[in-house]
Amino acid sequence: MTDLSFLTASELAPFIQSRQLSPVELTEHLLNRITQFDPTLRTYITPLPDLAMRQAKEAETIIMNGGYKGPLHGIPIGVKDNFYTKGIRTTVGSKLLANFIPDKNATTVDKLLNAGGIMLGKQNMHELAAGSTGTNPYFGNTLNPWNIQYMPGGSSSGAASSLASGLTTLATGTDTFGSIRLPASMCGIYGLKPTYGLVSTHGVFPTAMSLDTAGPMARSVSDLALMLTYMAGYDPSDPASLETSILDYGESLYTGIKGIKIGIPTYYLQDLDPDVERLFTKAIENLKYLGAQVRVIDIPELSMATFSSYATVTGEASAYHHKWLQTYPEYYSADIRTFFLTGTLTNTPQYIQAQQARRKIVKAFQQAFLEVDVLLGPTIPITTPAYSKNWLEQNLGVVKRTLPFTSPVNLTGTPAISVPMGIDRSGLPVGMQFIGNHLSEKQLLQIGSAWERTKPLGNRLEK
């Protein structure tokens, strides 16, 4: 067997099922790597070596006694630190919650653990899931393993960086205005932002409740499908949870994309960094070569996305944090405090108009999906920046530049998958996102899988 560090869950599961690989050996291997590399990369806030080894030994015993539960059994998972974990501190990347110990698990955590997943630890994140770079003045900045001078993207920074550096096999993420897709793009991994309500957010610390979505992050599309199969499902504890049947999300992965109609909104062709434009143009040609029908379409309503998302995110987040901002303002990093305080200065008419604009964008998307199967654009219009000394200005600047590309998916509650599309001139990965109609995850995974087989990064992740 090759190095365990970079094998996917889908590759590892048959070895675990056939008892050729022990979950204990796999977990020990990753814990050793965390000890070796995480002091530099800072992908975990709270590693959980004792718990992980206990869970791994338990999994090993059950599997040896013929009780194999399925493809997540014995697979190590990193959990973003805004998912509640019973008896384990859940900091949400914030000094404010540095000692918060929930008395319950998030529904998603329960589901993954019940399927036999091994929780390696709680992962670093941009504070309160409200930023896009991965800085964290209190717990330490997460670094991008492709080049540690560069940001990994956020807010699921620990998840993306740990997957790209072989410090976990799978990871959970959340996405309010791009927090799964953006770090996936910057770290060269795969991330799925599901349909709003498909995956429970009960027990996930809120950022902006009407946009918050939990989803899988992984090194392969088949692993996204695997995780989603266990994460999705109706949860009566989540008022936004959808009562919909759960599909076998891995069923169509190898169907190909011949005849699939892809629409590229003109909106997603504006203000691209030259490297992003170059790689995106090449990606379009490759998709055509795979048999997809690609054309440019116009969705004028997308012009309202920036206003709508700023007003919604800052408004909802500031409402949640208002009391704490009054009482403990010094516990917030300057970028997050600034972001939230801005929300206290927008007004109710703006918030309501933002929600009207959202409905308009939803309708425009639905109209577009009558003509095309999926929409496509770069995940973000910029290449990954190196960390700047003026991190406050940089953080707010990266949000300003990237939110227009990531937030339409959150505003409309639609699903999107971010996949790597190539390497920029600085040697860092760049991603693109396929956006589907509500509950079209299976098709998105099918398209993502066909794209993955073109090996957009070569084998450069395994280094």
Partner 1 sequence: MCNINFIKQGLYVQNLPIYEADIPYIQDMLHTIQQAQLALEAFPHLHDEVPITIVDKGLIR
- Catalytic positions are 80, 155, 179
In degrees rounded to 5, what are phi and psi of residue 221? Answer: -70, -35
Cα 97 to chain centroid distance, Å, stands at 22
CA distances from 70 to 11, 218, 367 (A): 13, 18, 39
| Between 104 and 322, CB nearer to partner 1 | 322
Asked if 155 and 129 count as a contact pair (C-beta separation under 8 A), the reply is: yes
Binding of partner 1 by 291 (CB under 8 A) = no
* Helical residues (DSSP H) of 189-273, grouped into ranges: 221-231
Site string for partner 1, 187-216 (x = CB under 8 A): ----------------------xx------
Least distance from partner 1 to the Cβ atom of residue 396, Å: 6
In 3D, which of 412, 456, 408, 410 has the Cα closest to residue 432? 456
Sign of CA dihedral 89, 58, 60, 216: negative
Binding of partner 1 by 405 (CB under 8 A) = no
Binding of partner 1 by 334 (CB under 8 A) = yes
Binding of partner 1 by 360 (CB under 8 A) = yes
| Only segment of 83-91, 264-272, 393-401, 419-427 that touches partner 1 (CB under 8 A) | 393-401
- Longest Cα separation, the chain: 62
Report the alpha-carbon distance of residue 71 to residue 11 in Å, rounded. Answer: 10
| Only segment of 86-94, 213-221, 267-275, 321-329 that touches partner 1 (CB under 8 A) | 321-329
Q: 155: cis peptide before it, omega within 30°? A: yes
| Between 63 and 357, CB nearer to partner 1 | 357
| Between 268 and 434, CB nearer to partner 1 | 268
Helix, strand, coil % over all residues of the chain, rounded to 5: 45, 15, 40
Binding of partner 1 by 400 (CB under 8 A) = yes
Rounded to the nearest 10 degrees, what angle do helices 305-327 and 348-371 cross at? 140
| Between 237 and 281, CB nearer to partner 1 | 237
Site string for partner 1, 220-259 (x = CB under 8 A): -------------------xx-------------------
| Between 38 and 335, CB nearer to partner 1 | 335
Binding of partner 1 by 356 (CB under 8 A) = yes
Binding of partner 1 by 13 (CB under 8 A) = no
Sign of CA dihedral 129, 130, 131, 132: positive
Binding of partner 1 by 427 (CB under 8 A) = no
Binding of partner 1 by 353 (CB under 8 A) = yes
Q: What is the torsion angle, in degrees rounded to the nearest 10, for the CA atoms of residue 187, residue 188, residue 190 and residue 194?
A: 50
Binding of partner 1 by 358 (CB under 8 A) = yes
Binding of partner 1 by 310 (CB under 8 A) = yes
In 3D, which of 367, 70, 75 has the Cα closest to residue 248? 70
Interior CA angle at 202 toward 198 and 208, to 5°? Answer: 85
- The single residue among 5, 244, 293, 306 that binds partner 1, judged by CB under 8 A, is 306
Which residue carries 């008022």 as its tokens?
A: 239
Q: Would you tell me which residues interact with partner 1 (CB under 8 A)?
A: 209-210, 239-240, 300-301, 303-304, 306-307, 310-311, 314, 322, 325-326, 329, 334-335, 337-339, 341-342, 344-346, 350, 352-353, 355-360, 362, 392-393, 396, 400
